[in-house]
Amino acid sequence: MNIGAINVTPTPSASRNSKFPLLLPQAVRTSQRICCFSNLSKCNNNSNNPLGWSKLQPSKCMLPLGAVVTSKSQNVSTSPLIGDEKIGVLLLNLGGPETLEDVQPFLFNLFADPDIIRLPRLFRFLQKPLAKFISTVRAPKSKEGYASIGGGSPLRQITDAQAEELRKSLWEKNVPAKVYVGMRYWHPFTEEAIEQIKRDGIRKLVVLPLYPQFSISTSGSSLRLLESIFREDEYLVNMQHTVIPSWYQREGYIKAMADLIEKELEKFDCPEKVVIFFSAHGVPLAYVEEAGDPYKAEMEECVDLIMEELEKRKITNSFTLAYQSRVGPVEWLKPYTDETIIDLGRKGVKNLLAVPISFVSEHIETLEEIDVEYKELALKSGIEKWGRVPALGCEPTFISDLADAVIESLPYVGAMAVSNLEARQSLVPLGSVEELLAAYDSKRRELPPPVVVWEWGWTRSAETWNGRAAMLAVLVLLVLEVTTGEGFLHQWGILPLFR
Ligand SMILES: C=CC1=C(C)c2cc3[nH]c(cc4nc(cc5[nH]c(cc1n2)c(C)c5CCC(=O)O)C(CCC(=O)O)=C4C)c(C)c3C=C
Ligand SMILES: [Fe+2]
């Protein structure tokens, strides 16, 4: 398949369909099987799997996402690709407001993203006015959060530091690559990074989203943007590249997470009595159930792998996984972090260690939501001692493993796999932008917008033409409100002027 500048081979996906058990003691967990490199629909416990089933083995198993993306040539190169060609690594991340003034425009960029709010085709023209409206309404609450963590997001600083450490690690491993940072919603924007990549004359590029697990709303959104930039640019069309869509299963990452957990557990009086509480950023349920987002399956596998690593170290604590940071009225992945904390308190748990699992930097949701809000809730709910594992940041084992992931992907840069099998046997699950998005989000179905203004309901059950007409009328009023700064909300003093 050739989509614009990108040749791709089919992408498999993982599925486990397991319901995550609350407080499942590790001793009774059964070992999980995962399906490597076959489509979700083909994923079953029987054979019929050309590559065979594989018990979770981070260093061997190909795991969920994998395809080779290439531009021009036909064979996998066996050389390390560090000859004359200039190599670049592009780290993709979310970005965050650096000052309180940045908060509203940052939120605007976020809500203007169709992978965050996907409007029905008929109403796409409303995306920007709606983003303007929601960002303006949400900004005061968000600003409070950012004010409480020092007046802005630390994401840029941390990501820059990670990029520099990754560059050093690659050079130490004899891969003289340049490392770039491209943010989705704030500076340095992905477009800015790409301009720099062009100025530097990079000929081979490894694209590495800084999210361990793939979600349509994070890596997917960044990759979609990248794909559109590539498609329209002569230079980029001819630049060879490869994408590492997710890497939560890598041994180095798993070990680095286990190290952090082990270290924090030691701070408790009775480490073995502590419940390990994995808290992942949520996504609306429809992303997983309707659009096929692999996020939940990958998250569950990731937690399993970390617990298996801890078990090897004779750490067999109880653990659970819950999802935090939901926005708006639609259903998000469950169980919710806040409800789970209350539940654990009710069940008599006294020691809790929170482990942020979906992101590798400290950010507003670790520093404010977990450290302040959830801690307070936990203490109120009967938890006596609360701990929190720091984000990986520039942890040397982790950075070194990211460097290895980049190096392992190099033979696939600009090379068409001889066969899918070859791609599947790579230690890095490689993928292509369009291919990955096609695998998980092929129809770009409508998704319920996960935002507050819809509280009164554009639910599936309300999707009748009458409902739609009423919604449209309200939206038109809101747009008028936003664009003219006049209207009923202003007259009633609910909104200030937007101008
Ligand atoms: C894997 C991580 C993330 C997923 C999945 C994700 C999905 C997602 N997020 C929103 C809405 C908001 N996210 C916001 C901030 C934010 N989100 C992530 C990560 C994921 N989001 C991070 C790391 C951050 C913090 C950045 C920082 O500045 O430190 C915000 C803004 C903050 C706020 O107002 O609460 C919003 C809004 C949705 C709707 C969504 C899935 C559809
Ligand atoms: Fe988010």
Q: How far is the CA of 218 from the centre of ligand 2 (A)?
A: 8
The token duo for 219 is 């890596």
| CATH number assigned to the domain with residue range 251-388, chosen from the 4 options 1.10.1740.10, 3.40.50.1100, 3.40.50.880, 3.40.50.1400 | 3.40.50.1400
Can you read off the two tokens belonging to residue 206? 């490894």
Cα atoms found within 13 Å of the Cα of residue 86, Cβ hemisphere only: 11
| φ, ψ (nearest 5 deg) of residue 51 | -100, 0
Q: Which ligand is nearest to the CA of 113?
A: 1
Contacts of 39 (CB under 8 A, 6+ apart): 12, 13, 439
**Span from the CA of 450 to the centroid of ligand 1 (angstroms):** 11
Ligand 1 pocket, mutate which of 214, 325, 371 (most atoms under 8 A from CB): 325
> Using 50, 70 and 90 to split pLDDT, how confident is the model at 489?
low
Q: Whose Cα sits closest to atom 11 in ligand 1?
A: 327
Closest C-alpha among 354, 260, 249, 337 to residue 300: 249
- Would you state the pLDDT for residue 14? 34
Cα of 443 from ligand 2 centre, angstroms: 23
With a CB cutoff of 8 Å and minimum separation 6, the contacts of 384 are 350, 351
Instruction: Report yes or no: 282 and 324 within 8 Å, Cβ to Cβ.
Output: yes
Ligand 2 centre distance from Cα of residue 327 (Å): 9
- Closest residue by Cα to atom 37, ligand 1, is 107
Give 314-355 pLDDT, tens digit per residue. 999 999 999 999 988 889 999 999 999 999 999 999 999 999
Q: At a CB cut-off of 8 Å and minimum separation 6, what does 138 contact?
A: 107, 452
Domain 87-248+396-440 matching CATH 3.40.50.1400: the answer reads: yes
Same fold for the pair 87-248+396-440 and 251-388: yes
Question: How many whole angstroms separate alpha carbon 393 and alpha carbon 398?
Answer: 8
Does 327 contact ligand 1 (Cβ within 6 A)? yes
Mean local confidence (pLDDT), 16-27? 31
Q: Is 93 in the pocket of ligand 1 (CB under 6 A)?
A: no
Q: Which ligand is nearest to the CA of 221?
A: 1
pLDDT tens, 60-112? 222 233 332 333 333 333 333 455 679 999 999 999 999 999 999 999 999 99
Asked if pLDDT for residue 258 goes beyond 80, the answer is yes
* ipTM score of complex: 0.94
pLDDT confidence band for 179 (50 / 70 / 90):
very high
Per-domain residue ranges for the chain? 87-248+396-440, 251-388, 463-498
Which of 21-35, 58-72, 140-154, 469-483 has the largest mean confidence? 140-154
Q: How big is the CA angle at 277 (ends 273 and 283), to the nearest 5 degrees?
A: 170
For residue 242, the cross-strand partners are 206
What's the whole-number average pLDDT of the chain?
A: 77
Cβ–ligand 1 distance for 137 under 6 Å, the answer: no
Q: Which ligand 1 atom is at minimum distance from the Cα of 146?
A: 28
Position in ligand 1 atom list of the atom nearest CA 447: 42
